[in-house]
Structure 1
Amino acid sequence: METFDITEHSHRRFNPLLGEWVLVSPHRSKRPWQGQQESAEKETRPQYDPNCYLCPTNVRANGEKNPDYPSTYVFVNDFAALQAESPAGSLQETGSLLRAQSERGICKVICFSPRHDLTLSDMEVSEIRKVVDLWQEQYLELGALEYISYVQIFENKGSVMGSSNPHPHGQIWAQSSVPGEPAKETEQQQAYFQQNGRSLLSDYLAEELEKQTRLVVENEHFVALVPFWAIWPFETIVIPRRHFQHLGQITDQEKDAYADIMKKLSSVYDKLFNTSFPYSAGIHQSPTDGQEYPGWHLHMHFYPPLLRSATVKKFMVGYELMADPQRDITPESAAERLRGLL
């Protein structure tokens, strides 16, 4: 097979974390845009909003009152998708096609800051470090429960990503089974480790550090880059240089560096289209089902939807829904744009 310039021609790229393919069509980025495009409005919010369910001392929708918290604050979600009291059980109708099983779990909300007007990019690194501390605490606490097999920590930032409240916050869903995406990553990483004796992401990161073309920002302990297999226009992945499985194993120095890389990456995002950049971000780490996962390498995904401006969004439609994910701009050009904003 002949080699070709992957930045110029349509091709498929393999995602080794999921064992799946993505179509890259760089020539589509040159097509004329005649769709809707509005002027982005600058959002201004007060430091404290008396009508916000997440601000300190306010009463939430279920009637409970928030404490006057000074930094971070975590509580059980008032409208949790998972319930700890769900009874065990399963359903299988005639044949094997229609099956269901109960799912137990706990959903929590984490307020990053008492201030209503901040996002991670606005917060000081020392304040973000407290968020990382709380992530670690909650992973260990929830993961220690006998019926919890996975702890998913994530943030939906911005109304376009479904966030119902602009107050800076994230969520944790801890559940009795391992969800689909982490399950695929578990399988791929374990298989690679068994075959090579090294973590998949350690070897992948070494290649990216050698090539330099998809790097965005780095520090002593973490690297943020646009992955080779990225689907979303300005998708990034944050990978620790040291191979460790979960937040329970992170050191104090690495927590400082994690907070630093979060601050830098979120600030770069905000500069890209001069807007508070929306995204869905989440930490992937080893399951908590009592088994050993030496191949697991903790990492964090950022999936931002903005494509051409603060108002032109990327939607998964047509080919993406019916066939494979497809991206219009190459990961290399996306990384170059992000790096230029440092």
Structure 2
Amino acid sequence: MTTSSESAAAAPHRRFDPLRGRWTLVSAGRDRRPWSGAAEAASPPAPPRYDPACPLCPGNPRGAGDDRNPEYTGPFAFPHDFPALRPDPEAAPPSPGAGAAVDPPPGPAGGLLRAEPVGGVCRVLCFGPRHDTHLAAMSDGELRGVVDAWLEQARGLGRRWRWVQIFENRGAAMGASNPHPHGQVWASSVLPDEPAAEDVNQRDYLRAHGSRLLVDYAATELAAGERVVAAHGGWLAVVPYWAVWPFETMLLPLRPTSGLTDLDDDGRAGLVGILRLLLTAYDGLFGVPFPYSMGWHGAPGGPAAGPASADHWQLHAHFYPPLLRSATVRKFLVGYEMLAGPQRDITPEQAAARLRAQVPAARA
């Protein structure tokens, strides 16, 4: 079903997500329903430039053993003190007091209950030394340092591990445990469900059409324009046609690019510019530091991955912000969403128009 923004706002309909092979129910206008439910806390007071109690600030102890951060001046990565994955899944956890490794309970041979070991590593990536900043507020040089750090993590870990998930949780509403600007990198020996679905659908599309799914999608969105938030430096920020979260966006390069490590100097510079535009638009929407979870999806790696195996992949980042109608009212994926399927309360076209209005004109 192809629909204009006008007809989309008039009647409930569903939209297909070709990247993951699922449908999203669009029920425009539900954001106006009366609300007396949970509300997010007001924006917290501005943090200090340096917090002596912060385990991520330069020179501070991290609270696990005797580890102390160096006096770092740029992006700084270190092994997660409480990792969800370990290089040897059968070894005892390295964290103090974590106890010995416990094997998963085995299921009957050939039965429904299955378990298997998963190896990997988890790292924390501090974006910079200042406790009181965030990506959109950084200088171009500082933001480029973060981009380069993402590439370094992807390149190094991708040589060994099948999947490298680089992500950031910003704000308490999205589970950030510390306001210091930072993200994480989890690398695993297996391909998790979300990228596995994207891998299958992108591969099938290339086989059927001879081109990359997301390259064709970017061209379609640029031609339509109504879901585009910003285009800059060879990059596109768009509210996907099939978006689930109210102000969800996707960030992708316009030319074929399989992963972060394929970005040249111009690609990295363009990424700095589009990141600033998108994140500034987010923060301007409700006049608060906009919470989100974001992460990069690129071609899977590991020793078994060859150059040809990445031909179907197009690098992209997903941004999933929870806020719906104000700085204090968020979207909850509960009830119907958990039991039946994804549903959104405003059209992607409406969301894109509101974000686009916040894009700094001088940089767009």
Same fold (TM over 0.5): yes
> Identity across aligned pairs (percent)?
48
- CA apart distance, 1:42: 4.5
Q: Residues 118-174 of structure 1: CA distance to partner in whole angstroms, max 9, x if unpaired? A: 1111111221111111111111111112xx111000000011111111000000000
Is it true that 1:118 corresponds to 2:133 in the alignment?
yes
Count of equivalent residues: 340
Partners of 2:80 and 2:3 in 1: how far apart?
Answer: 52
CA change 1:58–1:2 in 2 (3 A) is closer
Matched, 1:261 2:274: yes
CA, structure 1 residues 78+38, in 2 after alignment: closer, same or farther (shift >3 Å)?
Answer: closer
TM-score, normalised relative to structure 1:
0.96
Q: 2:12–2:25: 8 Å Cα contact kept in structure 1?
A: yes
What is the distance in 2 between the residues matched to 1:157 and 1:43?
A: 16
1:230 aligns with 2:247: no
Match for residue 36 of structure 2?
34
| 1:308 alignment partner in structure 2 | 325
Q: Residue 140 of structure 2 aligns to which amino acid in structure 1?
A: V
Residue 213 of structure 1, aligned match among 213, 226, 236: 226
Q: Is the 8 A contact 2:40 2:173 kept in 1?
A: no
**Whole-Å separation in 2 of the counterparts to 1:20 and 1:2:** 16
- Counterpart secondary structure, 2:310: coil
CA distance in 2, matches of 1:202, 1:93: 45
Q: Structure 2 vs 1, CA of residues 288 and 324 (structure 1 numbering), >3 Å: closer, same or farther?
A: same
Deviation at 1:220, TM superposition (A): 2.2
Partner of residue 144, structure 2: 129
Runs of at least 5 residues in structure 1 that lack an aligned partner in the other structure: none
Asked if the contact 1:190/1:293 (under 8 Å) is kept, the reply is: no
Runs of 4+ in 1 over 2 A off after TM superposition: 1-4, 29-43, 87-95
1:86 to 74, 79, 89: 89
SS at match of 1:108: strand
Instruction: Compare 21-30 and 70-79 and name the one that shifted more.
Output: 21-30
Greater CA drift, 283-292 or 298-307 = 283-292
Name the SS for the 1:7 alignment partner.
helix
Q: Structure 2 residue aligned with 1:329, among 309, 326, 346?
A: 346
1:295 to 304, 312, 316: 312
Give the counterpart letter for 2:346 in structure 1. Answer: I
Superposed counterparts of 1:194-205, under 5 Å: 194-205=207-218
Segments of 5+ residues of structure 2 without an aligned counterpart are 92-102, 360-364
Residue 250 of structure 2 aligns to a residue in which SS?
Answer: strand
Could you say what the CA RMSD is over the residues aligned between the two structures, in angstroms? 1.8
Amino acid at match of 1:75: F
- Distance in structure 1 (CA, Å) of the matches to 2:13 and 2:109: 43
Counterpart position of 2:256: 243
Match of 2:335 among 314, 318, 334: 318
Q: Does 2:159 align with 1:153?
A: no
Give me the whole-angstrom Cα distance separating, in 2, the residues matched to 1:328 and 1:125.
35
Equivalent-residue separation in structure 2 for 1:308 and 1:259 (angstroms): 28
Q: In structure 1, what is the equivalent of residue 12 of structure 2?
A: 10
Aligned to 2:284: 271
Cα distance change, pair 61–331 in 1 and its aligned pair in 2 (3 A): same
Distance 1:313 1:217 in 2: 24
Partner Cα separation in structure 1 for residue 347 and residue 181 of structure 2: 31
**How far apart in 2 are the matches of 1:334 and 1:9?**
17
Of residues 222-231 and 262-271 in structure 1, the stretch that sits farther from structure 2 once superposed is 262-271
Worse-matched range after superposition: 10-19 or 281-290 = 281-290
Do the aligned residues in 2 keep the contact of 1:156 with 1:163 (CA within 8 Å)?
yes
Deviations along 1:52-101, one digit per CA (max 9) or x if unpaired, are 00000001011201111111100010010001121398843254210000
Q: Does 1:171 align with 2:184?
A: yes
Q: What is the CA-CA distance between 1:316 and the residue it aligns to?
A: 0.6
The SS at the match of 2:273 is helix
1:19 is displaced (CA, Å) by 0.5
TM-score normalized by structure 2? 0.90
Q: 1:254 to 1:230 in 2, by over 3 A?
A: same
